[in-house]
């Protein structure tokens, strides 16, 4: 496996069989993390980039089997943040040192292009030195273009799995794998910095599906990849499924770092949820981004994609301080920076 890890670090790609072999035999995980950490340090030093996440709506027209805010969850307490609420989050975030804001929400038809353009333009006008990331799911090319023109610079849309049969097990038939992938290429063509990503250990995932994820990422060449363990939510069809593991999530993070050395790779909240030191471990496995929550505390608990999500009771300032301490404990520090990709 040493050989395959070195080959990945050298060539930034592997064949499908090599991916399968390397993901199956994880006996050299410590060596992988060493190489991944070394690579991240070369590109980003000991800086960890931060993104202030604003979860502005938990209405969603989709019904993904894994997700706590799926349409059929009648017990979800739905909310939308007003434009003023969102601006308040940004103001607070800016004071705390965030220079990237991520507007994330369910696929909520209330947010027409016009409403979104208003919000985006206002943020862009107030914070010209900040990056603005959107994470609003699948939309049309025209819509993505309008939002880009209004001032958004990045877009996160996890592909969830690059294995079409597996995609069908995670989503009802009204959703299509083909459209999801098309959206990602469209976003790239428009000029967004693009992030895809997948859950680790989602029901029905195999080593072959993970190999396909790595092949897909090699092809798409996104600037960001968000991965975290699948964590069951009690009000979903997957409530009794087993959660993903810390071990495999960290391993995939290490592989992603070597696959694309300058990748923006978050140590996610889901990873912090299944392990109290999950985010620190993620950074030590090659991640270089953290995405604490800036949403008002009164709505935090309501944006529950999975059970036991951390930080739902904490103020943004508390999370900033907490993460500062956590990163310093492993020899890293939070950067006050837009956090664009380093030159490859």
**Residue in 44, 49, 177, 230 binding ligand 5AD, rule: CB under 6 A:** 230
Q: In this structure, which long-range contacts are made by residues 298-301, counting pairs with CB atoms below 8 Å and at least 24 apart in sequence?
A: 299/55, 299/58, 299/79, 299/81, 300/55
> Is residue 64 marked as binding?
yes
Q: Are 158 and 196 in contact (CB under 8 A)?
A: yes
> Is residue 89 marked as binding?
no
Q: Of the ranges 44-52, 108-116, 218-226, 316-324, which one interacts with ligand FES (CB under 6 A)?
A: 316-324
Task: Give the Å distances, CA to CA, from 308 to 169, 304, 313.
Answer: 24, 8, 11
Minimum CB–partner distance for residue 325 and ligand 5AD (Å) = 25
Q: Of the ranges 73-81, 105-113, 223-231, 286-294, which one interacts with ligand 5AD (CB under 6 A)?
A: 223-231
> Is residue 60 marked as binding?
yes
Q: Which residue, 8 or 81, has its beta carbon nearer to ligand 5AD?
A: 81
Q: Which residue, 14 or 316, has its beta carbon nearer to ligand FES?
A: 316
Rounded to 5 degrees, φ, ψ at 104 are -120, 140
**Residue in 103, 199, 259, 327 binding ligand 5AD, rule: CB under 6 A:** 199
Is 160 near ligand 5AD (CB under 6 A)?
A: yes
Minimum CB–partner distance for residue 56 and ligand FES (Å) = 19
Is 319 near ligand FES (CB under 6 A)?
A: yes
Q: Are 271 and 246 in contact (CB under 8 A)?
A: yes
> Is residue 183 marked as binding?
no
Is 323 near ligand FES (CB under 6 A)?
A: yes
x/- map, 253-292, ligand FES, by CB under 6 A = ---------------------------------------x
Burial of 39-73, coded b for 16+ CB within 10 Å and e otherwise, reads: bbeebbeebbbbbbbbbbbbbbebbbbbbbbbbeb
Q: Using CA of residue 35, residue 41, residue 47, residue 49, what is the dihedral sign?
A: negative
Is 322 near ligand FES (CB under 6 A)?
A: yes
Q: Which residue, 85 or 314, has its beta carbon nearer to ligand FES?
A: 314
> Is residue 130 marked as binding?
no
> How far apart are alpha carbons 283 and 265 in whole angstroms?
9
Is 67 near ligand 5AD (CB under 6 A)?
A: yes
> How far apart are alpha carbons 213 and 159 in whole angstroms?
9
Minimum CB–partner distance for residue 315 and ligand FES (Å) = 9
Is 311 near ligand FES (CB under 6 A)?
A: yes
Burial of 253-291, coded b for 16+ CB within 10 Å and e otherwise, reads: bbbbbbbbbbbbbbbbbbbbbbbeebbbbbbbbbbbbbb
What are the structure tokens assigned to 207, written together? 């080593």
Is 233 near ligand 5AD (CB under 6 A)?
A: yes
**Residue in 189, 318, 328, 333 binding ligand FES, rule: CB under 6 A:** 318
**328: partner contacted, choices ligand 5AD, ligand FES, none (Cβ within 5-8 A by kind):** none
Minimum CB–partner distance for residue 4 and ligand 5AD (Å) = 27
Minimum CB–partner distance for residue 76 and ligand 5AD (Å) = 12
Is 66 near ligand 5AD (CB under 6 A)?
A: yes
Contacts of 236 (CB under 8 A, 6+ apart): 65, 66, 67, 68, 70, 73
Task: Find the helix packing angle between 177-190 and 141-149, rounded to 10°.
Answer: 30
Q: Where are the alpha helices (DSSP H) in the chain?
A: 2-11, 16-24, 29-44, 83-95, 113-126, 141-149, 164-170, 177-190, 207-220, 246-259, 269-274, 278-284, 297-300, 316-329
Contacts to ligand 5AD by CB under 6 A = 66-67, 158, 160, 199, 228, 230-231, 233, 270, 305-306
Residues making up the annotated binding site are 60, 64, 67, 135, 160, 180
Contacts to ligand FES by CB under 6 A = 292, 311, 314, 318-319, 322-323
């Amino acid at each position: 496996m040493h050989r395959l890890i070195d080959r990945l670090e050298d060539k930034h790609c592997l064949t499908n069989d090599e991916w399968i072999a390397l993901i199956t035999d994880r006996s050299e995980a410590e060596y992988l993390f060493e190489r991944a950490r070394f690579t991240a340090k070369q590109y980003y030093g000991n800086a960890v980039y931060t993104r202030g996440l604003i979860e502005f709506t938990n209405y969603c027209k989709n019904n993904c089997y894994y997700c706590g805010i799926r349409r059929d969850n009648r017990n979800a307490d739905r909310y939308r943040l007003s434009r003023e609420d969102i601006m308040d989050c940004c103001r607070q975030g800016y004071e705390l040192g965030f220079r990237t804001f991520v507007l994330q929400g369910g696929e909520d038809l209330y947010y027409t292009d016009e409403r979104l353009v208003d919000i985006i333009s206002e943020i862009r006008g107030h914070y010209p030195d900040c990056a603005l990331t959107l994470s609003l799911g699948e939309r049309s090319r025209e819509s993505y273009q309008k939002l880009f023109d209004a001032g958004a610079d990045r877009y996160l849309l996890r592909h969830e799995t690059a294995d079409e049969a597996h995609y069908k097990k995670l989503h009802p038939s009204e959703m299509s794998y083909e459209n999801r992938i098309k959206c990602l290429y469209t976003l790239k063509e428009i000029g967004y910095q693009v992030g895809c990503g997948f859950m680790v250990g989602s029901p029905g995932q195999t080593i072959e599906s993970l190999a396909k994820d790595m092949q897909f990422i090699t092809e798409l060449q996104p600037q960001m990849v968000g991965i975290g363990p699948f964590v069951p939510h009690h009000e979903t069809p997957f409530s009794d499924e087993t959660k993903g593991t810390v071990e495999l999530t960290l391993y995939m993070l290490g592989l992603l770092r070597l696959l694309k050395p300058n990748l923006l790779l978050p140590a996610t909240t889901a990873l912090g949820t299944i392990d109290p030191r999950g985010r620190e471990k993620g950074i030590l496995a090659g991640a270089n981004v953290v995405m604490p929550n800036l949403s008002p505390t009164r709505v935090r608990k309501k944006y529950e994609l999975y059970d036991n999500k951390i930080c739902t009771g904490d103020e943004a300032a508390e999370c900033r301080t907490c993460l500062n301490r956590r990163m310093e404990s492993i020899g890293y520090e939070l950067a006050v920076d837009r956090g664009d990709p380093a030159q490859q």
